[in-house]
Amino acid sequence: MKFAVIVFPGSNCDIDMYHAIKDELGEEVEYVWHDTESLEGYDGILLPGGFSYGDYLRCGAIARFSNVMKEVVKAAEAGKPVLGVCNGFQILLEAGLLPGAMKRNESLQFICRPVELKVVNNETMFSNVYEKDEVITIPIAHGEGNYYCDEETLAALKKNNQIVFTYESNPNGSLVDIAGIVNEKGNVLGMMPHPERAVDELLGGADGLKLFQSIVKQWRETHVVKA
């Protein structure tokens, strides 16, 4: 499986993402610059964390107009796995690939520490290696991670089982403890915690590796390679 790590001006977790895929997962991966006009040849798309375009205007609001985002939308519509972490999640929200919006953390402070998450839906292409209701430890690092949506959208998220991860102890004020959601089709995941920073025990834990393993497992089950 071949992954693209999208790099925007201000991305700072792209190297972590690359390392997680190449060195820990053992799959192919390449950096792809924000002005790229084609994502053909890539099986999975990864939008890393950071401060794209300096987080001016709103987090992710400028990045969503980058040339590459047209291709990210096409990849999502084609059913390819698209993962947005932290700033990547914010970009997916701004691009309309996921519903809702991000607000400043309730404390109005930047938070950087490990948190416990519950896997409330383990039947997605991003969570199928986890057990249902498994509690995992993943680091967060954000100032605007307070997820919000209106009542109608929240009802739809619950009805369609689109809430994948929730915080065990809410660090930022996110609505109903939401830490990660998927689109209705289930192939676009946005989450504020950083799984790529939890892929090796040397980093303090490897709970995030299962997320990437889930993607590969799903992909291999649906792509039969003929000898």
Catalytic residues: 86, 194, 196
5-35: buried (b, 16+ CB within 10 Å) or exposed (e) per residue? bbbbebbbbbebbbbbbeebbebebeebebe
Length of the chain (residues) = 227
What span, in angstroms and rounded, lies between the C-alpha atoms of 147 and 189? 14
Give the residue from 168, 169, 171 showing the smallest Cα distance to 134. 168
Q: How many other C-beta atoms are found inside a 10 Å radius of the C-beta of residue 102?
A: 25
